[in-house]
Every structure is written in structure tokens, then in C-alpha cells.
């Protein structure tokens, strides 16, 4: 299928000398171009990846500080094998691998294999699965590769992810790949700041709006007055002001400090990938950002989403998709014309973009689209029901959310259908000072692509579209429900679950080994939070029954109530957190423990 991959036998026969010559050439190439991985270059061939070598199936990764040049400016990054992003790690389903990670930093580090199913000791979260990797130490990760698809790896120590410790993983299926393609590229989206990430955090702690240079001004007020009338414009200001919220709180960290990268390249440096017309090109998008959501489109090309979070889904043709932090989406594009296309990944708040080019020849580029205007959040994002908003279902059926564990089987069966669930009223607990707001009404929102993308006449991917290609194995109904509210306080820059930062909790969230449970997440904040569970997939309850898509990261929109079914089959301790790096660091983090006996049922 893959034209440019050498046949397997030949690949294995590459002699040591050849290999050395080859890696040296790559090193030289990298040296010239400020330490980018092989896939950042136009001539990228798929054998230029890191695959297990030798009898033990070894891959060596070394983490070190390296000078880099990003957008013409020099900086020091934390690199993996000398590059940012790290090299493409290519594994095969079913093989036993030994991944050796060496720390050449003067502080502790770690590597977490995002989305991989493995023993918890191999998961790479310091303080949860192991103690991390001390300077000059090597940690040996040994596990059997049990899945296939697109994943990624990154540091789980401090804010190292922001300074460059991330890279793509592709796992080839043991059997035939249901996805047909002629050519493929990893597309790693990330963000870079020349500031010390801890300084970024301190700025946010002292001034939540520090990086927002798209606030509403007096000028915008007058524009709104002329567009919609004085009282409407004033009323809108007053209702947001009364809540002490801003509808343009879209991203904590913006293009004011971020340079948005595609495969390590800033927009000006243009990541360039080749195709031959008529080919099926598989683009494996990974959002390895610390603080940026992207809206991805390729003007002139329809994209067919074939995989989400490494799991094959029924193909969905789209014009655009939003990729939350830590999510992956594989799309197929079939360029028919002999022309260049721009891969355009606009940040959610429209303060910047990452960009690359897909072209039949190296010298071809396509125009770069204008950024769209910065969107505004609505009262719906604040958990308010608006008059005239057509709701699915009878208002009298509104249910009071009753605390932590409610399991109404009828309600559950109802959600098995494709029907949008009724809004649920928030319970009496307002989660204390750590929660600046609660969503009075919690909406389904599975049919909404999200702020800035709603009401588009083009097809934008929504969570409702995702349907697993294969039925899920565990057909049991969940025996209980755990409800967690995503909470935060932008003014104080505190982030939490149920109003409690991580340092305020006394122990792990307990799953009973082997149980089937429903995890319900309610977003009480006005920002999106990509929630990641380590060690186990979450079957998103989007009405697809046995074909619920399996996700490692669930993006929860403001005022959204979303559920996932989980089979607690992975004993041990696992991290569970918001994948906005700074939210995790500020307390939106929990430990889940899967054990034989749980203390409270």
C-alpha cells in the first residue's frame, strides 16, 4: 500500500554501516534546519522512522536540552533524540517492545505513551505509575503492543511538554488495515513559547487575561450598537458583566506568546508534503499542544475522517474538524488536481495558526487563508437556556441531577438512541470558591462542533458523527455512574474537579477491577477541557450503542454533559486529567485506581 516504504525484508536488511551513514545524513539535515524530525522535511520517506531494532525490539530515546531556531529566533528546547517534535516512533501491533528513555537533562523527566494500553508501571506518570527518570538515568519501558493506530508520546513531568518533549507514534495493524491509502504523513500540531512556561503560569495566576489581546473594547461596543441596537449591545455587556465573565475568554494562552507549529515548523517555515495526484493521502493529525485547540481544514479538499484517538471509525467526510489537545484524527484526502493545497490549522481563538502545504512538487505553495474573526461565547456556554432556543424534548421532563451516583436505566436506554438528551439542571452543590461558575443547565452538545464553528454551512465534524468501525467487546450495561464536574476560576487561575484542586483530595477515584461503569463529565466552566483517562479507553456515549467510539481524550464543551462507558480492566493507578497542560498543573488532575476491592461502592 505504502509506495515509499521499502518491502519489509529489505527494510530489515539495512546493514549497520548503511544505517550509520543514513542516520548521520539525517543528523546533518537536522543540523541545517534547526533540529527538526525527519517528517518535517519534504522528502520524508516512511523508513525514516524509529522502529524497534535488534532481538529485543529496542528503541532508544534520549531527552536533552538543545538549541533550536523557531521562526528565526533562537531558543533552547527540550528535545527527544535532538529534535522537536521527537522522532516518529513506529511500532507493530502484537510485538513486544523495549523503549529505553535516557535523561540527559539536569532535572527529572518522563515519557508517557498517550493512548497506549499497557501495564500501569509502564505508563510513565511520575508519582502515579513510577518515580520518573532521574538525570543520567535510563528507564526501560517493556510492554506488548496491543493496538494499532495513531498515538503520541510526551513528558508527564512539570511543564516539559511545552518546551518540546512530545512526538508521534504510529502502530501498524497486525492484520490488514481497513483504511486504504497510498501515502501517509504524521501532522503534529503544537505550540511554542519563547517564555519560560512557569513564567507563563505565573502571569496567568496574577492576571488571568494576560495573553488575551482580543478583549471587547469600547469600539466593539459601538459596532454592536450600530449592528444590533443600543439596548441589545448594552444588555449583552450587562449580562456578561453581572456574571463577571467575558464572552471572549477563548484561550488562556494565545498567539500573543505562542508560535503555532506544524511538525515543528512555524507558519513561515511551511511544512511541505508531497503527493501524486489521484493518490489517497492519509494525514495523521495529532494535537500535541500544551494550550491550543485547532480548527483544521484544507481549502479545496474534502477530508474523510477515518480514525479518532487511534480507533478506526466509520468514514465521515468533513470540510473541517476541531482537534482538542491530545486528540488524534486520521483523515484521508484525495487531491485530484495538479495543484498545491494549504493545510490550515487555526487556533480556536483565531489569534494565530499553524500551516503546511500539500503539493505535487516541492516548489509549489497555495495561498494561506485569512484568519476568521475571533468568535464569541454565548449564554448557552454559560449554561443558560435561551428563549426561542428550540430544545429537543419536553420541558417538563427536565430532571434534577441528583448528586454523584444516579443510574436511571430508563434514561440510560434513552441515551442509547441518536436522540439528543434533554438539558439537565445543575444540582445544589456549587463547588465552592474554586468554581467561578456553574452551568445551571447542562447540555448534550454532541451535535455542536463548538464555539466559532456552529451554524456553519460547511460540514464540521461533531462528536455525534463518530461511530466505531468495530463493535465494542464488552456489552454489559454500566453498573454505576460516577459524575465529575469540571470547575475552575480564571481570575485566580485555579482548575479543579468538583471545585477541588488535586492537592485538596485525599485519595484516588476508585474503580472496581472488572466493573463496567459510566463516567459522566459536566463542564461548569466556560472553556473547553480535553479530559484524558490513562490506561483505559472511554466509550463515548453518543448514541451509537455497541459502536460507541473509543476515546482516550474527551473534549468537554462549556456547559456540556457528556458520558462515557468504561470497562475497568486495567489494575493499578492511572492519571486522569485535563490535557491543557496548565490546567493539569493547577489542579485539574486526579488519580484513578483500579483495584479488587473499593472502599465505597
Partner 1 sequence: MNKSINSIIRNIKAIVLTGIVVTLFMGSTALAQVAPPFSNSIMKDNETYAYLVAERLEYTSITGSDPLAWDVQGYIGKSYDKFWFQSEGSSLTSQKEGDMEFQGLYSRTITPYFDFQTGIRYDLMYSRAENLSRGFAVIGLQGLAPYMFETETDLFISDKGNISARILGTYDLLFTQRLIGQPRFETNIAVQKVEKFGIGSGFNDVQLGFRLRYEIRREFAPYIGISWNRQLGGTADMVRLEGGKVSTFGLLGGVRFWM
- Is the CB of 74 or the CB of 244 nearer to partner 1? 244
Shortest separation between residue 66's beta carbon and partner 1, angstroms: 25
In three-state secondary structure terms, 75 is strand
Rounded Cα–Cα distance for residues 407 and 356 (Å) = 47
HSE-CB of 302 using CA atoms within 13 angstroms: 9
Question: Among 8, 17, 242, 390, which residue interacts with partner 1 (rule: CB under 8 A)?
Answer: 242
Shortest separation between residue 222's beta carbon and partner 1, angstroms: 11
SS (H, E, C) 478-506: CCEEEEEEEEEECCCCEEEECCECHHHCC
Shortest separation between residue 375's beta carbon and partner 1, angstroms: 17
Examine residue 336 and tell whether it contacts partner 1 (CB under 8 A).
no
Contact 510, 599 (CB under 8 A): yes
Shortest separation between residue 347's beta carbon and partner 1, angstroms: 17
For residue 364, how many other CB atoms are within 10 A of its CB?
15
**Grid cell 504510529 in the structure block, residue:** 170
Examine residue 505 and tell whether it contacts partner 1 (CB under 8 A).
yes
- Is the CB of 78 or the CB of 415 nearer to partner 1? 78
- The two beta strands, 281-287 and 183-193, are parallel
| Candidate segments 50-58, 354-362, 365-373, 589-597, binder of partner 1 by CB under 8 A | 589-597
- The two beta strands, 271-274 and 572-578, are unpaired
Q: What are phi and psi of 300, to 5 degrees?
A: 100, -10
Examine residue 589 and tell whether it contacts partner 1 (CB under 8 A).
yes
Task: Kindly write out the interface string for residues 529-568 of this chain, putting x where it contacts partner 1 by CB under 8 A and - elsewhere.
Answer: ----------------------------------------
**Grid cell 496548565 in the structure block, residue:** 582
Question: Among 331, 401, 522, 586, which residue interacts with partner 1 (rule: CB under 8 A)?
Answer: 586
Shortest separation between residue 570's beta carbon and partner 1, angstroms: 12
Examine residue 584 and tell whether it contacts partner 1 (CB under 8 A).
yes
HSE-CB of 396 using CA atoms within 13 angstroms: 0
Q: Do you find a cis peptide bond into 85, omega within 30 degrees of 0?
A: yes
Q: Cell numbers of 368, please?
A: 494561506
Examine residue 235 and tell whether it contacts partner 1 (CB under 8 A).
no
Question: Among 20, 58, 238, 419, which residue interacts with partner 1 (rule: CB under 8 A)?
Answer: 238
Shortest separation between residue 205's beta carbon and partner 1, angstroms: 5
HSE-CB of 367 using CA atoms within 13 angstroms: 5
Q: Which residues contact 251 (CB under 8 A, 6 or more apart)?
A: 211, 212, 291, 292, 293, 347, 348, 349, 351, 527
Task: Kindly write out the interface string for residues 147-176 of this chain, putting x where it contacts partner 1 by CB under 8 A and - elsewhere.
Answer: -----------x------------------
| Candidate segments 88-96, 176-184, 224-232, 430-438, binder of partner 1 by CB under 8 A | 430-438
| Candidate segments 285-293, 348-356, 431-439, 542-550, binder of partner 1 by CB under 8 A | 431-439
For residue 270, how many other CB atoms are within 10 A of its CB?
16
- Is the CB of 266 or the CB of 588 nearer to partner 1? 588
For the four alpha carbons of 158, 159, 164 and 168, in that order, the dihedral sign comes to positive
Q: Cell numbers of 46, please?
A: 516512511
Question: Among 407, 433, 471, 477, which residue interacts with partner 1 (rule: CB under 8 A)?
Answer: 433
Examine residue 597 and tell whether it contacts partner 1 (CB under 8 A).
no
| Candidate segments 240-248, 441-449, 511-519, 558-566, binder of partner 1 by CB under 8 A | 240-248
Examine residue 373 and tell whether it contacts partner 1 (CB under 8 A).
no
Examine residue 141 and tell whether it contacts partner 1 (CB under 8 A).
yes
Shortest separation between residue 490's beta carbon and partner 1, angstroms: 10
DSSP state letter for 10? H
Question: Among 40, 105, 122, 538, which residue interacts with partner 1 (rule: CB under 8 A)?
Answer: 122
- The two beta strands, 399-400 and 424-425, are parallel
Shortest separation between residue 388's beta carbon and partner 1, angstroms: 26
Shortest separation between residue 135's beta carbon and partner 1, angstroms: 18
Rounded Cα–Cα distance for residues 339 and 336 (Å) = 9
Beta strands in 279-416 (DSSP E): 281-287, 294-297, 303-308, 311-318, 320-323, 328-333, 341-347, 353-359, 399-400
- Identify residues 62-121 at the interface with partner 1 (CB under 8 A): 119-121
- Is the CB of 152 or the CB of 495 nearer to partner 1? 495
Q: Which of 183, 410, 462, 132 is closest to 295 using CA atoms?
A: 462
Q: Which of 464, 382, 84, 481 is closest to 262 using CA atoms?
A: 84
Task: Kindly write out the interface string for residues 180-219 of this chain, putting x where it contacts partner 1 by CB under 8 A and - elsewhere.
Answer: ---------------------xxx-xxx--x--xxxxxxx
Rounded Cα–Cα distance for residues 248 and 250 (Å) = 5
Beta strands in 104-215 (DSSP E): 112-114, 138-144, 149-154, 166-172, 183-193
Shortest separation between residue 501's beta carbon and partner 1, angstroms: 5
Question: Among 74, 229, 504, 514, which residue interacts with partner 1 (rule: CB under 8 A)?
Answer: 504
How many residues touch partner 1 under the rule CB under 8 A: the total is: 61
- Identify residues 474-493 at the interface with partner 1 (CB under 8 A): 489, 491-492
- Is the CB of 252 or the CB of 593 nearer to partner 1? 593
Residues that bind partner 1 (CB under 8 A): 119-122, 126-131, 139-142, 158, 201-203, 205-207, 210, 213-219, 238, 241-244, 433-437, 489, 491-492, 494-495, 501-508, 572-573, 584-587, 589, 591, 593
Amino acid at each position: 500500500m505504502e509506495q515509499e516504504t521499502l518491502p519489509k525484508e529489505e527494510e530489515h536488511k539495512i546493514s549497520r554501516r548503511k544505517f550509520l551513514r543514513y542516520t548521520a545524513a539525517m543528523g546533518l539535515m537536522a543540523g541545517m534546519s534547526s533540529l527538526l524530525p525527519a517528517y518535517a522535511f519534504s522528502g520524508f520517506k516512511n523508513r525514516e522512522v524509529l522502529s524497534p531494532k535488534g532481538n529485543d525490539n529496542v528503541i532508544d530515546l534520549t531527552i536533552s536540552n538543545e538549541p533550536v531556531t523557531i521562526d528565526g529566533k533562537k531558543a533552547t528546547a527540550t528535545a527527544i533524540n535532538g529534535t522537536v517534535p521527537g522522532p516518529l516512533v513506529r511500532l507493530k501491533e502484537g510485538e513486544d517492545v523495549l523503549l529505553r528513555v535516557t535523561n540527559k537533562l539536569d532535572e527529572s523527566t518522563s515519557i508517557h505513551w498517550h493512548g497506549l494500553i499497557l501495564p500501569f508501571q509502564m505508563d510513565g506518570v511520575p508519582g502515579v505509575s513510577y518515580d520518573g527518570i532521574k538525570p543520567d538515568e535510563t528507564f526501560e519501558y517493556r510492554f506488548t503492543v496491543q493496538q494499532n493506530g495513531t498515538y503520541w508520546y510526551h513528558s508527564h513531568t512539570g511543564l516539559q511538554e511545552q518546551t518540546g518533549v512530545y512526538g508521534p507514534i504510529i502502530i501498524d495493524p497486525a492484520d490488514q488495515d481497513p483504511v486504504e491509502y497510498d501515502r501517509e504523513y504524521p501532522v503534529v500540531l503544537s505550540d511554542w513559547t519563547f517564555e519560560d512556561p512557569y513564567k507563563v503560569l505565573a502571569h496567568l495566576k496574577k492576571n488571568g487575561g494576560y495573553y488575551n489581546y482580543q478583549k471587547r473594547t469600547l469600539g466593539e461596543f459601538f459596532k454592536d450598537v450600530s449592528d444590533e441596537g443600543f439596548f441589545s449591545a448594552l444588555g449583552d455587556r450587562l449580562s456578561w458583566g453581572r456574571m463577571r465573565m467575558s464572552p471572549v475568554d477563548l484561550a488562556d494562552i494565545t498567539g500573543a506568546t505562542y508560535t503555532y507549529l506544524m511538525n515543528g515548523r512555524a507558519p513561515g517555515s511551511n511544512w511541505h508534503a508531497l503527493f501524486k495526484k489521484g493518490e489517497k493521502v492519509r494525514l495523521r493529525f495529532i494535537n500535541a499542544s500544551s494550550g491550543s485547540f485547532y480548527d483544521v481544514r484544507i481549502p479545496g479538499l474534502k477530508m474523510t475522517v477515518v480514525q479518532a484517538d487511534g480507533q478506526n471509525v466509520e468514514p465521515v467526510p468533513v470540510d473541517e474538524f476541531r482537534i482538542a489537545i491530545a486528540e488524534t484524527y486520521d483523515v484521508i484526502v484525495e487531491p485530484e488536481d495538479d495543484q498545491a493545497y494549504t493545510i490550515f490549522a487555526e487556533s480556536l481563538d483565531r489569534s494565530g495558526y499553524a500551516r503546511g502545504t500539500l503539493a505535487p512538487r516541492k516548489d509549489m505553495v497555495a495561498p494561506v487563508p485569512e484568519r476568521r474573526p475571533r468568535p464569541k461565547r454565548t449564554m448557552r456556554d454559560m449554561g443558560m437556556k435561551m428563549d426561542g432556543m428550540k430544545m429537543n424534548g419536553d420541558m417538563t421532563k427536565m430532571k434534577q441531577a441528583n448528586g454523584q451516583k444516579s443510574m436511571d436505566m430508563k434514561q440510560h436506554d434513552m441515551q442509547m438512541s441518536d436522540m439528543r438528551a434533554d438539558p439537565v439542571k445543575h444540582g445544589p452543590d456549587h463547588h465552592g470558591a474554586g468554581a467561578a461558575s456553574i452551568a445551571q443547565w447542562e447540555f448534550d452538545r454532541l451535535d455542536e462542533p463548538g464555539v466559532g464553528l456552529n451554524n456553519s454551512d460547511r460540514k464540521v465534524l461533531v462528536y455525534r458523527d463518530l461511530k466505531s468501525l468495530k463493535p465494542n467487546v464488552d456489552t454489559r450495561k454500566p453498573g454505576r455512574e460516577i459524575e465529575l464536574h469540571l470547575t475552575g476560576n480564571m481570575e485566580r487561575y485555579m482548575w479543579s474537579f468538583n471545585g477541588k484542586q488535586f492537592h485538596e483530595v485525599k485519595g484516588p477515584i476508585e474503580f472496581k477491577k472488572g466493573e463496567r461503569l459510566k463516567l459522566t463529565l459536566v463542564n461548569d466552566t466556560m472553556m473547553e477541557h480535553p479530559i484524558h483517562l490513562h490506561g483505559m479507553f472511554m466509550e463515548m456515549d453518543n448514541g451509537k450503542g455497541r459502536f460507541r467510539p473509543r476515546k482516550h481524550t474527551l473534549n468537554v464543551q462549556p456547559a456540556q454533559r457528556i458520558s462515557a462507558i468504561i470497562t475497568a480492566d486495567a489494575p493499578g493507578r492511572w492519571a486522569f486529567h485535563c490535557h491543557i497542560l496548565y490546567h493539569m498543573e493547577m489542579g485539574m488532575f486526579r488519580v484513578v485506581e483500579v483495584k479488587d476491592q473499593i472502599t465505597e461502592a
